[in-house]
Chain A
Amino acid sequence: MADLATDVLVVGSGAGGAITAAALARGGRTVTVVEEGPWVDPDAVEPFSLQEMEAKYRHHGLAAALGNPAIAYAEGRCVGGSTEINSGLYHRLPDHLVAEWRTAYAIDEFSPEALGGYADRVEHELSVAPLPGAPPPSSAALERGATKLGWRNVEFARVFSYDAQGRGTKQTMSRTMIPQARAAGARIISDCRVLRLLREGDRIVGARCRRTHSGGGVERMTIHADQVFVCGGAIHSPALLQRSGIWRNVGNGLKMHPTIKLAARFPHPVDHGDVPTHRITEFSPFVAIGGSANRKGHVAMALADTGAPFAEALADWENISVYYAAIRSDGSGRVAALRGVRSPLVTYSLTEADVSRLARGLVHLGELLLAGGATELHPSVVGGTVVRRLDELGGWWDQVTRARANLMTVHLTSSVRMGEHRARTGADSFGRVWGYSNLRVNDASLIPDAPGVNPQAAIMAIATRNCDHFLDVT
């Protein structure tokens, strides 16, 4: 068994972990990052492709929160985590949520102004920019529909850098913070799963790990650490804490943005290599409308959901794009590590209000796309009406039920909430896990509730803030 020692052990290398590693290594700490997934060259596979699912997704993207209905979810599992597989959309945490959460969870030094300062730093370091030039057809349809209906809409910036020809490169963690962490002396160990943390009193003294080598060999490792940051995301951070015997307010209160989709057919070709950057904010914060990955495989999956024959539509797939309505949910879920089982059990309960909100979101999405020029809409609802006219949309209100709606999400948060309100949180205002002097969480788990927008910006700003605080106090 190999033994390593480090000042700071960071578990996970996604938006939280990579930012933590870079900030602490630059702050003069000896940092070791352990990532369960492999290193994958960011240019090796096409975005949103089947090959990407095999190389970078946890469980090939085939995981689900159990409940009525089950909700499929996807996470990254590679160096860089979910930043390697997401759309790169970037949206600061809305100010009213920051103020609301500061009060509800008694979060110290948590204000729109303070977080704004950290967001400025992140945006400067990562290159957050809007798409140059005119929007592609799939995005323009959203903008056109919103303009016609008089609905508010925004073209989101993304964590992308663009060259003079307008070609964009997503600034994933493997392209940005991981190299910066390395340059500052951090060691990155990929293909290495942390089995459990080693506790002594109120301290974590290290981690027991299992590393898989490229030839298939397996090596047991113990990493001794003075400080530990768990940054495995909202599912795997609480699961690791639980496997290590830490359960207090850990894993409960999981939040997500349940999402329903549709395939929209246009009388002209649409783009398929990327996701639309326009979002409809008219119904924020409870319903967000936007566009999704829409390669041919995604189009086929979306067309199939009604159960009606779709061969004729699929033959016209180049004119079809996939869109979504995502909601802020009143429901919540739970992550529970199961003894002897590698993957945690994830459950989520939708409320009746959530189901109603999803129906409302789908109907609004339909209105928008018909106004934006779509001629045929196929909802992700078994037996759902394929809509061609506005007056047909009303049928969807009754068709979006627990039994018939096909739901998914890519935004998971809030499983180790932060704040000084000890009855409601698993960690203090800066991510230190209650009851432990040197154990911190620094990822989406800390966000007290689903933000109603892509949480990547919030994760990055909060992680940066927590690292500053850590460097100040230790």
Chain B
Amino acid sequence: MLWFEREVVGALTESPDQPLRSSVESFVDGSLRDMPEHLRAGVAAESVLLGTYVAALRRAGRLPEGDAQALAAQLDRWEVSRIGVLRQYVRMMKSLVYFAENELAPAGAA
């Protein structure tokens, strides 16, 4: 899992529970590793490009450093982008995280 992917998973995971957050990250990591290679290569390339873009935004002071909510808001903007692969990137990461977080949370947890 690339550093930006880890950051995206962290921004999308709502629970503060650290073991649960780690389990979600581990599931997403396993899923990305198991993707068809050509799809994984495309996702990895996007992660590098988007991570670089986000780093540039942070350097320019347009995105607060270490602010998960700000990154989540940026992901929401990308989800309605006119660029198809960008939309699909966000939908895939959200699907993985939301599925894992809700399946892995202990029964009865909020």
Contact = CB atoms under 8 A, between A and B. Distances in A.
Contact of A297 (B31, B39, B91, B102): B102
A299 interface: yes
Given A403-B82, A403-B84, A406-B91, A60 B102 contact: no
A49 B30 contact: no
Contacts of B36: 59, 63, 342-344
B103 A315 contact: no
Interface in A65-119: 68-70
Contact of B39 (A64, A296, A305): A64
B53 interface: no
A122 interface: no
B1 to A, nearest CB: 13
Contacts of B95: 301, 304
A32 B65 CA distance: 58
B15 to A, nearest CB: 12
Nearest to B88: A70
B36 to A, nearest CB: 3
A304 B76 CA distance: 11
Contact of B79 (A299, A307, A311): A307
A301 B95 CA distance: 5
A300 B35 contact: no
Contacts of A69: 84, 88
B99 A297 contact: yes
A297 B79 contact: no
A295 interface: yes
A50 B87 CA distance: 24
A2 interface: no
Nearest to A67: B84
Interface string A302-345: 00110100010011010000000000000000000010011111
B67 interface: no
A342 B37 contact: yes
Given A70-B88, A307-B79, A403-B87, A59 B102 contact: no
Contacts of B80: 307, 382-383
A301 B91 CA distance: 9
Contact of B102 (A296, A341, A403): A296
Given A63-B36, A343-B36, A54 B30 contact: yes
B11 interface: no
Size range of the chain B interface in the assembly: 20 to 34
A406 to B, nearest CB: 6
Contacts of A50: 27, 99-100, 103-104
B34 A62 contact: yes
A421 interface: no
B37 A296 contact: no
Interface in B25-49: 27, 30-32, 34-39
B69 to A, nearest CB: 13
A29 interface: no
B100 A60 contact: no
A59 B34 contact: yes
Nearest to A63: B36
B20 to A, nearest CB: 13
A54 B99 CA distance: 13
A406 B80 CA distance: 12
A199 interface: no
A440 B38 CA distance: 29
B98 interface: yes
B103 A296 contact: yes
Given A50-B104, A69-B84, A343-B37, A60 B99 contact: no
B110 interface: yes
Contact of A63 (B35, B91, B98): B35
Contacts of B5: none
Contacts of B60: none
Contacts of B37: 341-343
B84 A301 contact: no
Contact of B31 (A62, A307, A403): A62
A145 to B, nearest CB: 27
A317 B30 CA distance: 27
A424 interface: no
Contacts of A61: 31
Contact of B38 (A62, A305, A341): A341
B40 to A, nearest CB: 9
Given A307-B80, A311-B14, 19 more contacts: A50-B27, A59-B35, A62-B35, A62-B39, A70-B84, A297-B98, A297-B99, A297-B100, A297-B101, A297-B102, A297-B103, A300-B98, A300-B99, A300-B101, A300-B102, A301-B94, A301-B99, A305-B91, A382-B91
Question: Which 6 A-B pairs have CB atoms at the shortest separation, nearest pair first?
Answer: A343-B36, A297-B103, A297-B99, A50-B103, A60-B31, A300-B98
24 contacts: A49-B103, A50-B27, A50-B100, A50-B103, A54-B27, A54-B30, A59-B35, A60-B30, A60-B34, A60-B35, A61-B31, A62-B34, A62-B39, A62-B96, A64-B39, A64-B88, A296-B102, A297-B99, A297-B103, A300-B98, A301-B95, A304-B94, A307-B76, A343-B37
